[in-house]
Amino acid sequence: MTKKLGLVLGSGAARGWAHIGALKALDEIGVKPDVIAGCSVGALVGGAHLIGALDEFESWARMLKPVSALQRFTLKVHRGGFIDTSPAFEAFRSYDKKIEDLPVKFVAVAADLATGEEIAITKGSVIDAARASSAIPVVFHAVRMDERWLVDGALANPAPVSQARKLGADVVISVDLNAVPRVLDRFDPPPPSVPAVLPHDDPAPESVTGAVAKLIDDTRTAIERQFELAKARANAQPHLFETAYAAADIFQMQLARARSKSEPPDLLIKPDMRDAMPTAFDRADEFIEEGYRSLMAQRAEIERLLSA
């Protein structure tokens, strides 16, 4: 019996460009998922792939600049948020399909704003499902669907392995963008030891005296920089959005870890996104490459799981 592969694409805002790389890697090794379960940006990328819009979506992502992503949105305080994402989604409406008509089983996870319940969207418009799944609370407008107000599925199930199993997946690969969390290292205590001597570009000294003088000079520079770093950290205060990003990362990381203990995937792909701000929409090139690299590194294990 051929094993059915389930691919889980987790939440992560702009870091979700890594999912494009993961899908490209799977395609390169000739593995096609039978089920795709997406949450938030994972639902967006997975949905774009299934309706045939991924190439255009990727091209758009690679052209984005730090603020140009917002040009697709409309600022309007309404429905619990201040950004209306509908213009961006409508730009891809011509590609839209019904989930039940897709060649691959697909589920987008959202959260019911009234009850906190996890909502698995398995019918209707792919674009509408992706929009509901990625409606970040307070930031993006909530989406009305089946008499419910839906928001970002990361509040309920950031990496929906359980939903992939429900749709019949025998082997589940989960691409978790929160497995390696962002670290606000400027708030870390300074390291207790003096760092190694910094590299120097000057030519090698001609004498022992010159070598000693160079060592003293480099060590002094390293110590001074360490004191400056310690002082900066001691005086640092979290910024509003910086704190919000960190809180969202911590929440999603802890929730994903808790759920993975009771609902583990067969293989966890962990792109290293620790230095990636959720709003870094202009870094598609490197995020796509990281997603590709992370999945290709597990190629042998994927092939083993599907052939065992």
How far is Cα of residue 168 from the mean position of the Cα atoms in its chain?
25
The pLDDT, as a whole number, for residue 187 is 55
Cα–Cα nearest to 137, from 153, 151, 154: 151
d(CA 41, CA 59): 16
| Amino acid 14: pLDDT | 87
Residue 126 and residue 48: Cα distance in Å, rounded? 8
What string of pLDDT tens digits covers the 308 residues of the chain?
689 999 999 998 889 999 999 999 999 999 999 999 999 999 999 999 999 999 999 998 888 775 545 555 555 555 555 677 777 788 889 999 999 999 999 999 999 999 999 999 999 999 999 999 999 887 888 999 999 999 999 999 999 999 999 999 999 999 999 877 665 555 555 555 444 444 444 455 556 666 666 777 777 777 777 666 666 556 666 666 667 667 777 777 788 888 888 899 999 999 998 878 777 888 999 999 999 999 999 999 999 999 98
Active-site option among 128, 152, 176, 249: 152
At residue 88, the pLDDT reads: 78
Please report the pLDDT score of residue 280 as a whole number.
82
The single-letter code of the amino acid at 130 is A
**If we measure between CA atoms, which residue out of 89, 84, 86, 64 comes closest to residue 74?**
84
Q: Is 45 helix (H, G, I), strand (E, B) or coil?
A: helix
Tokens representing residue 128 in the block: 């509408």
* Rounded Cα distance, 160 and 264, in Å: 10
Query: Which pair of structure tokens corresponds to residue 191?
Result: 């390291």
Report d(CA 179, CA 181) in Å as an integer. 6
256 alpha carbon, distance to own chain's centre: 12
Q: What is the C-alpha to C-alpha distance for residues 308 and 301, in angstroms, rounded to an integer?
A: 10
Question: Scanning the structure block, which residue is given the tokens 């592969």?
Answer: 5
Task: Output the six-digit token pair for 109.
Answer: 């996870």
pLDDT value of residue 277: 76
- Asked if residues 40 and 153 have their Cβ atoms less than 8 Å apart, the reply is yes
For residue 277, the cross-strand partners are: none
SS3 category, 280: coil
Describe the crossing of helices 126-133 and 41-50 by its angle, rounded to 10 degrees.
170
Q: Note the pLDDT of residue 194.
A: 43
Residue 152 is a catalytic residue:
yes
Active site residue 86: no
The strand ranges marked E within 19-170 are 35-39, 74-78, 81-84, 105-112, 118-121, 138-140, 143-145, 148-152
pLDDT value at position 223?
Answer: 75
The single residue of 11, 34, 40, 125 carrying the catalytic annotation is: 40
Question: DSSP letter string over 136-194?
Answer: -TEEEPPEEETTEEEEEGGGT-SS-HHHHHHTT-SEEEEE-TTSS----GGGSPPPSSP
37 touches 161 (CB < 8 A): yes
